[in-house]
Amino acid sequence: MQLNIDQVLTENKKFKTNHSDNFDFLSKQLENKGKNVNNILKKIADFQVAIPSWALGAGGTRFGRFGFFGEPASLEQKIEDVGILHALTKTAGAVSLHIPWDIPQDYNAIKELAKANGLVFDAVNSNTFQDQKNAKESYRFGSLSNLNSSVRDQAIQHNIDVIKIGNKLGSKSLTVWLADGANFAGQRNFQSSLIHTEDSLKSIYSELPEDWKMFIEYKPYEPNFYSTVIQDWGTSFMLANACGEKAYTLVDLGHHLPNTNIEQIVSTLMLKGKLGGFHFNDSKYGDDDSTVGSVKPYALFLIFNELVYGMANNSQNPDLAWMIDASHNIKDPLEDLLQSLEAIQEAYAKALLIDQEELKAAQERNDVTLCQEILQDAYRTDVRPLLAQARVLSGGAIDPLNSYRSLKVRESLIKQRGVNSIASGL
Ligand SMILES: [Mn+2]
C-alpha cells in the first residue's frame, strides 16, 4: 500500500483555512521577535529521522506480546509502512534495518521499493542478543565479551556480515548495541569482559569501509540485571576512542538511569566530536520505550537545545544519525511513530527559537533569571503551525495523524495483510 500525493492534498483541504490562520499568527509573532521564519522552516524540513524495521510491529515485554492487526510480515511491507509515514510527514525519509530479522532476498528490488517510497537506508543494526537457528555457538553468556574465543569470533563475523549487507543497500553506518553483561554478582570478571569487548570491536572496526561509521550504544542494565559491559557513555566513549576516528558513541534516551543529565552528556560528546547517533523514546522508570516527548517533554527540549548548539558550533562532530527506537506495546505502531515524529520536530523547532546570542550574554552577566526565561519563552511557544507549514511545503499532510485515520490506512493494511500477520523479530 502506498499513499499518493493527491490523497494527502485532498485531506489538506479540510484543514487549510485553520492552518493558514494559525501559521500567519505565529509567523508574525516570531518575526516581531526578529526570527527568520523561512530559515526555521527549512531546518525543520531538512530534519529526517530513520524508522527502524522492528518498530512497525507491536513490541512486547518479557511477559508477553499483544500483536497489532495488519502488521507488516515482510521487509517489503515494512518499507511500505515507512513510506506511509514519510508520505504524511515528509520527515521519515530513512529506514534502519535489523539483521538478521530483515535480510533482503532481492537487493535491487528492495532498493527500488525504498526509492519509490522516497527512502534511503540508514544505519544497519546487528543482533548478538539472541541465538539464531542453527547457530554453532550460543550467546547465553555473552557475545563480543565471551570468554570463549569461538563465540566471540561468531559474533564478530556476524557484525562483519551486517556491514556487507548494509553496504549493498547504501547504508553508511553500523550500530552495535551489546547486551553482554552479568545477571549475578561474581558471574564475570569486569576487566576480562571489557578487554574482550574492546578487542572484538576493533576486529569489527577493521572491516568498516572507508566512508562508514561505527556507533557504539550503551545501556546501564537489561537484559542483564547485575552489570552491563558497555554500561554508560564513558565506557562507550572510551571504546570508540580505542577503535579509531570512525567510531562514535550513540545516545539512546531510554538507556540512562532515572534523572541522568542527558543534555550534558550530549554536549560533552559533541565538544569531543564523538556523538554519532541518537535514538528517540521516553521513559518513566527505565528503558520503557514510551513515545518520545510523552513523559518528559521539557527534558527533550533541553537535550535539543544542546544538539542545536552543537550542530551550529561543533564542526568537529559529524552529522548525526537520528532514529526512533520505541516499542509501542499496545498502540497502533504507525500512530505511535506519527506522534513520535511530531514530538521530535516540536522539540527541535522550539530549540531553534532559543536566541543563543542573548543566552550567551545573559550567562556572561550571570543573569540566572533571564537565562531560564530565554529557554522557557522558547519552550512555551506553540510551534505546531511551523511543523505543519514545513510539511505542506514538502508535500506532506497538515495533520498527519488525523489524515492517517480518515484515510483508513490501518483498515486497508488489515484488509491486505489480515488480522493475524506478525512482524518478524522477538
Ligand atoms: Mn537504541
Rounded to the nearest angstrom, the distance between the alpha carbon of 271 and the centre of ligand 1 is: 22
HSE at residue 416, side-chain half, CA atoms within 13 A, is: 16
Average pLDDT on 74-93 reads 97
* φ, ψ at 251 (rounded to 5°): -100, 120
Rounded to the nearest angstrom, the distance between the alpha carbon of 217 and the centre of ligand 1 is: 7
Rounded to the nearest angstrom, the distance between the alpha carbon of 113 and the centre of ligand 1 is: 26
- Asked whether residue 424 carries a pLDDT value surpassing 90, the answer given is no
Rounded to the nearest angstrom, the distance between the alpha carbon of 84 and the centre of ligand 1 is: 23
- E-only strand ranges, 238-274: 247-252
Rounded to the nearest angstrom, the distance between the alpha carbon of 221 and the centre of ligand 1 is: 13
Helix (H, G, I), strand (E, B) or coil at 276: strand
Rounded to the nearest angstrom, the distance between the alpha carbon of 71 and the centre of ligand 1 is: 21
Rounded to the nearest angstrom, the distance between the alpha carbon of 53 and the centre of ligand 1 is: 13
Which has the higher per-residue pLDDT, 257 or 419? 257
Rounded to the nearest angstrom, the distance between the alpha carbon of 300 and the centre of ligand 1 is: 16
- 163-177, 320-334, 391-405, 412-426: least confidently modelled range: 412-426
Rounded to the nearest angstrom, the distance between the alpha carbon of 197 and the centre of ligand 1 is: 19
Q: At what angle do helices 368-379 and 333-352 cross, to 10 degrees?
A: 140
Rounded to the nearest angstrom, the distance between the alpha carbon of 219 and the centre of ligand 1 is: 9
Rounded to the nearest angstrom, the distance between the alpha carbon of 222 and the centre of ligand 1 is: 12
Distances (CA, A) of 80 to 1, 193, 355: 6, 41, 40
Q: Which three cell numbers stand for residue 54?
A: 522492528
Rounded to the nearest angstrom, the distance between the alpha carbon of 302 and the centre of ligand 1 is: 20
Average pLDDT on 300-329 reads 96
Rounded to the nearest angstrom, the distance between the alpha carbon of 159 and the centre of ligand 1 is: 17
Residue list, CB under 5 A from ion ligand 1: 252, 279, 325
CA torsion, ordered 342, 80, 412, 323, to nearest 10 deg:
-30
- Asked whether residue 425 carries a pLDDT value surpassing 70, the answer given is no
Average pLDDT on 163-192 reads 98
Rounded to the nearest angstrom, the distance between the alpha carbon of 326 and the centre of ligand 1 is: 8
- Asked whether residue 181 carries a pLDDT value surpassing 90, the answer given is yes
Q: Any bridge partners for residue 94, and if so which?
A: 50, 120
Rounded to the nearest angstrom, the distance between the alpha carbon of 30 and the centre of ligand 1 is: 35
327 DSSP assignment: -
Helix (H, G, I), strand (E, B) or coil at 81: helix
Average pLDDT on 30-57 reads 97
Q: Which three cell numbers stand for residue 123?
A: 544505519
Which has the higher per-residue pLDDT, 374 or 419? 374
User: Where do we find the cell 543494526?
Assistant: 125
What domains appear along the chain, each with residue ranges and CATH number? 48-345 (3.20.20.150)
Question: How many beta carbons lie within 10 A of that of residue 35, not counting itself?
Answer: 16
- Asked whether residue 426 carries a pLDDT value surpassing 80, the answer given is no
How far apart (Å, rounded) are the C-alpha atoms in residues 310 and 194? 30
Rounded to the nearest angstrom, the distance between the alpha carbon of 273 and the centre of ligand 1 is: 20
Rounded to the nearest angstrom, the distance between the alpha carbon of 173 and the centre of ligand 1 is: 14
- Asked whether residue 107 carries a pLDDT value surpassing 90, the answer given is yes
318-327 per-position pLDDT tens digit: 999 999 999 8
How far apart (Å, rounded) are the C-alpha atoms in residues 22 and 250? 37
Rounded to the nearest angstrom, the distance between the alpha carbon of 17 and the centre of ligand 1 is: 40
Rounded to the nearest angstrom, the distance between the alpha carbon of 51 and the centre of ligand 1 is: 12
How far apart (Å, rounded) are the C-alpha atoms in residues 232 and 211? 27
Rounded to the nearest angstrom, the distance between the alpha carbon of 398 and the centre of ligand 1 is: 29
Rounded to the nearest angstrom, the distance between the alpha carbon of 383 and the centre of ligand 1 is: 27
Rounded to the nearest angstrom, the distance between the alpha carbon of 310 and the centre of ligand 1 is: 21
For position 123, what pLDDT does the model report?
A: 98
The residue among 413, 398, 267 whose CA lies nearest residue 338 is: 398
Rounded to the nearest angstrom, the distance between the alpha carbon of 115 and the centre of ligand 1 is: 25
Rounded to the nearest angstrom, the distance between the alpha carbon of 421 and the centre of ligand 1 is: 25
How far apart (Å, rounded) are the C-alpha atoms in residues 150 and 170? 30
How far apart (Å, rounded) are the C-alpha atoms in residues 176 and 159? 8
Rounded to the nearest angstrom, the distance between the alpha carbon of 328 and the centre of ligand 1 is: 14
Average pLDDT, the chain: 96
Average pLDDT on 229-235 reads 98
CB burial of 165-202 (b: ≥16 within 10 Å; e: otherwise) equals bbbebebbbbbbbbbbbbeeeeebeeeebbebbbebbe
The residue among 227, 208, 210 whose CA lies nearest residue 219 is: 227
Q: Which three cell numbers stand for residue 126?
A: 546487528
139 DSSP assignment: -
For position 361, what pLDDT does the model report?
A: 98
132 DSSP assignment: P
Rounded to the nearest angstrom, the distance between the alpha carbon of 346 and the centre of ligand 1 is: 21
Rounded to the nearest angstrom, the distance between the alpha carbon of 123 and the centre of ligand 1 is: 12
How far apart (Å, rounded) are the C-alpha atoms in residues 369 and 372? 5
H/E element, 87:
helix 75-89
Cis amide bond preceding 223, omega within 30 = yes
Query: What's the first-to-final CA gap in the chain, in angstroms?
Result: 25
Helix (H, G, I), strand (E, B) or coil at 259: coil
For position 29, what pLDDT does the model report?
A: 98
Rounded to the nearest angstrom, the distance between the alpha carbon of 312 and the centre of ligand 1 is: 25
How far apart (Å, rounded) are the C-alpha atoms in residues 278 and 177? 13
Rounded to the nearest angstrom, the distance between the alpha carbon of 404 and the centre of ligand 1 is: 26
The residue among 213, 218, 225 whose CA lies nearest residue 166 is: 213
Q: Under 8 Å CB-to-CB from 266, ≥6 apart: which residues?
A: 251, 275, 303, 306, 307, 310
Contact 188, 231 (CB under 8 A): no
